[in-house]
Amino acid sequence: MTVFWFLVREGLKGLIRSKYSGAFSIIIIAISLILVGFGYVGARDTLFLVDNIRAQFDVDIFLHETASDKEINNFEALLDSMIEIQKVHYISPEKAAVKFKKEFGEDIFDMLDYNPLPPSFTISLKPIYRNLTSVEGIASILSKKPGVDEVKYRKKFLILLEKYQRIILITVVSVFAFLALLSIILTSNSIKMTIFSRREVISTMKLVGATNSFVRWPFVIEGTLQGFIASCLAALFIYGVFYLLNNYLQTVIEYKAIISYRFYIGIVISGTLMGLIGSRRAIRKFLK
Amino acid sequence: MINFINVDCTFRKKAGVKNINFSVNSGEFVFLTGPSGAGKSTILRLIYMDLFPEKGKVIIRNYNSSSIRDREIPYLRRKVGMVFQDFRLLSDRNAYQNVALSLYVSHYKTSEIKKRVYEVLNQVGLGHRVHYRPYELSGGEQQRVAIARALVKEPVVILADEPTGNLDPKVSIELMNLLNKINKRGTAIIVATHNYSLIPRVPGARLIQIDEGKIVSIT
């Protein structure tokens, strides 16, 4: 127990003794975590946004104006039975007229004496079928069904989305991976600097007969504490920024970040682990 | 206790030591003398296995330089006390903590550490300077703390590399008297020095003279 407490005490004292280099390490780790934290939220929300845009993708199926109730019912039953379809919404000619008025501000009956709007269905596809190949296949099948006049969807939009989604995904993942890698390198180097400034202690300990693990522990404890303090600071900073963003700037930028407490716990655990692993790796070099 | 058998060791491409053969028995006092760069420090470093021979072997009790494993070196160093010209005390801790470090690394209990550190600091005449940091102590006092740090682990030998190099003549003599006193209690001492005036201070000490990495004479 004497040795255990000695090592813990040495670790704590080391943190205080290292002053500037220790504070520098903490700041570097905190900045790294802040970058990774914002990088993560940015990546997550960009991908979420793309998914959301895709989720809004609908296919409109217009039936002939003359379609009977029976044909409409049969067609609805067919749509309900298709596994690719998530949601089916029927728009009767009357509802279409109301929608027309809402969208264009004019009553169709004032312009024409009759309602030319046909009965239609708006369908949403399941996420895995929201791609060009599937949509084209489904549209082609449906357009051949009896009573169907026209199948419409935003083809150009889908082509553009498919083209850019890949680029967005690669960019977002690369930026996040770059930030994560940068933070590991920065953390490891700043801990190395802290240890380098105390190489005198290491060589003296080794001269008086300390084993490598005895020399290592105070530095690992110190590095872990640095990581923990830095990650708490980073979590506080990120919380503060999102608090301001959500409470004061939301109306300006029309964005609300939803961040669960698990994200902050993740930051603290990552930072602490970075300190632990970084110091273990850094001390290894000085023990050779 | 210490045996050098046909030892060759080159250090940083400079001439180190060549074909060194000598032995030191328990409780002996030995002076290693010779001009600067003769190889005195190399010999001491070979004893605490900071350097290893390219040829031959160094045997310290049951530790053999040709077969020792890295993880055994700390245990050898717990049996060998070291004192340097530049003291090598940790400036961020006081005399007590500097000496106690030797015992913490050897996993002693707190009560035992306390008892032994106070005892040994009294022995070197620093009982009243226990809580002083190195920069608050004179050169002679700092070297006494270094000796206490070496002595506290009850080593079989204390190696002193130019221990008086940074001290004035009066303090140097006091220090040699202290080492002599320690030796009389049974600890072997090897002092590497180019200050020949220290030798008469220890009557009966053996003298190994080195020049250009070779032993010139052993008396």
Distance between CA atoms of B198 and A122, rounded to whole angstroms? 104
For residue A254, pLDDT over 70 is answered with no
Share of chain A above pLDDT 70, in %: 97
| Chain B neighbors of A200, CB-CB under 8 A | 88, 90
- Is B101 in contact with A206 (Cβ distance < 8 A)? no
* DSSP sequence for B35-92: STTSSHHHHHHHHTTSS--SEEEEEETTEETTT--GGGHHHHHTSEEEEETT----TT
Q: Which tens digit of pLDDT belongs to each residue from A61-110?
A: 888 888 788 888 888 888 888 888 888 888 888 888 787 778 777 777 77
Strands B55-60 and B206-211: unpaired
| Chain B neighbors of A206, CB-CB under 8 A | 74, 77
Mean of the per-residue pLDDT values for chain B?
90
Distance between CA atoms of A155 and A112, rounded to whole angstroms? 31
How many CB pairs lie under 8 A apart between chains A and B?
A: 53
- Is A209 in contact with B109 (Cβ distance < 8 A)? no
The C-alpha of B170 sits at a distance from chain A's nearest C-alpha, in angstroms, of: 28
Distance between CA atoms of A135 and A151, rounded to whole angstroms? 11
**pLDDT value of residue B217:** 85
Write a three-state SS string for B186-212. Answer: CCEEEEEECCHHHHHHCCCCEEEEEEC
**Pick the residue with more confidence: B125 or A94?**
B125
Q: Give the pLDDT band (50/70/90) at residue A253.
A: low
Q: Which of A2, A3, A17 sits opposite B92 (nearest CB)?
A: A17
Q: Residue type at A118?
A: P
Q: Which tens digit of pLDDT belongs to each residue from B74-113?
A: 999 999 999 998 889 998 899 999 999 999 988 888 899 9
Residue B32: name the closest of B197, B194, B200 by CA: B194
Residue A264: name the closest of A29, A28, A41, A25 by CA: A41
For residue A272, pLDDT over 80 is answered with yes
Alpha carbon B133 to its chain centroid, in Å, reads 22
| Chain B neighbors of A201, CB-CB under 8 A | 90, 92
- Is A208 in contact with B153 (Cβ distance < 8 A)? yes
The C-alpha of B118 sits at a distance from chain A's nearest C-alpha, in angstroms, of: 18
Mean pLDDT (whole number) for B128-144: 91
Residue A56: name the closest of A153, A171, A165, A170 by CA: A153
**pLDDT value of residue A252:** 66
**pLDDT value of residue B28:** 93
**Pick the residue with more confidence: A282 or A111?**
A282
Q: Which residues of B touch A (CB under 8 A)?
A: 48, 71, 74-78, 82, 88-90, 92, 101-102, 104-110, 113, 149, 153
CA dihedral B141, B143, B149, B153 (to 10 degrees): -120
Distance between CA atoms of B13 and B78, rounded to whole angstroms? 30
- Is A2 in contact with B153 (Cβ distance < 8 A)? no
Please check whether residue A78 is in contact with residue A109, taking contact to mean a CB–CB distance below 8 angstroms: no
**pLDDT value of residue A175:** 81
For residue A188, pLDDT over 80 is answered with no
Q: Which tens digit of pLDDT belongs to each residue from A115-173?
A: 777 888 888 888 888 888 888 888 888 888 888 888 888 888 888 877 777 787 788 78
- Is A210 in contact with B90 (Cβ distance < 8 A)? no
Q: Residue type at B106?
A: S
Pick among B75, B80, B105 to test the A interface (most A CBs inside 10 A): B105
- Is B71 in contact with A200 (Cβ distance < 8 A)? no
- Centre a 10 Å sphere on the Cβ of residue B35 and count the other Cβ atoms it contains: 11
For residue A186, pLDDT over 80 is answered with no
CA distances for B36 relative to A69, A107, A168, B55, angstroms:
112, 109, 68, 23
**pLDDT value of residue B174:** 86
**pLDDT value of residue B82:** 93
- Is A208 in contact with B71 (Cβ distance < 8 A)? no
SS3 state of residue B218 = strand
**Residue B14, H or E segment:** strand B14-24
Return the structure tokens found at A285.
Answer: 């070099």
* DSSP sequence for A32-53: HHHHHHHHHHHHHHHHHHHHHH
Please check whether residue B121 is in contact with residue B113, taking contact to mean a CB–CB distance below 8 angstroms: no
Residue B25, φ and ψ in degrees, nearest 5:
-95, 165
Q: Which of A201, A204, A209 sits opposite B106 (nearest CB)?
A: A209
* DSSP sequence for B142-156: HHHHHHHHHHTT--S
**pLDDT value of residue A59:** 87
Sketch the domain layout of chain A as residue ranges. 2-52+161-287, 58-153
- Is B105 in contact with A200 (Cβ distance < 8 A)? no
For residue B13, pLDDT over 70 is answered with no
Mean pLDDT (whole number) for B2-11: 89
Distance between CA atoms of B31 and B39, rounded to whole angstroms? 13
Distance between CA atoms of B20 and B212, rounded to whole angstroms? 12
Residue A194: name the closest of A182, A186, A204 by CA: A186
**pLDDT value of residue B14:** 64
Just give the CATH number of A58-153. 3.30.70.3040
**pLDDT value of residue B73:** 93
Return the structure tokens found at A68.
Answer: 């009977």
Distance between CA atoms of A20 and A38, rounded to whole angstroms? 27
Q: Which of A3, A201, A207 sits opposite B82 (nearest CB)?
A: A207
| Chain B neighbors of A12, CB-CB under 8 A | none
For residue A235, pLDDT over 90 is answered with yes
ipTM of the complex: 0.86
Q: Give the pLDDT band (50/70/90) at residue A197.
A: confident
**Residue B33, H or E segment:** strand B29-33
Distance between CA atoms of A11 and A227, rounded to whole angstroms? 13
| Chain B neighbors of A203, CB-CB under 8 A | 88
Q: Give the pLDDT band (50/70/90) at residue B57.
A: very high
| Chain B neighbors of A2, CB-CB under 8 A | 104, 107-110, 113
**pLDDT value of residue A238:** 93
The C-alpha of B178 sits at a distance from chain A's nearest C-alpha, in angstroms, of: 21
Q: Which tens digit of pLDDT belongs to each residue from A201-210?
A: 888 888 999 9
Query: Whole-model pTM?
Result: 0.71
Distance between CA atoms of A178 and A31, rounded to whole angstroms? 14
**pLDDT value of residue B58:** 94
**pLDDT value of residue A32:** 83
The C-alpha of A211 sits at a distance from chain B's nearest C-alpha, in angstroms, of: 6
**pLDDT value of residue B77:** 94
Q: Which tens digit of pLDDT belongs to each residue from B110-123?
A: 899 999 999 999 98
CA distances for B83 relative to A137, A277, B170, angstroms:
86, 35, 19
Mean pLDDT (whole number) for A238-261: 80
Residue A184: name the closest of A281, A288, A286 by CA: A281
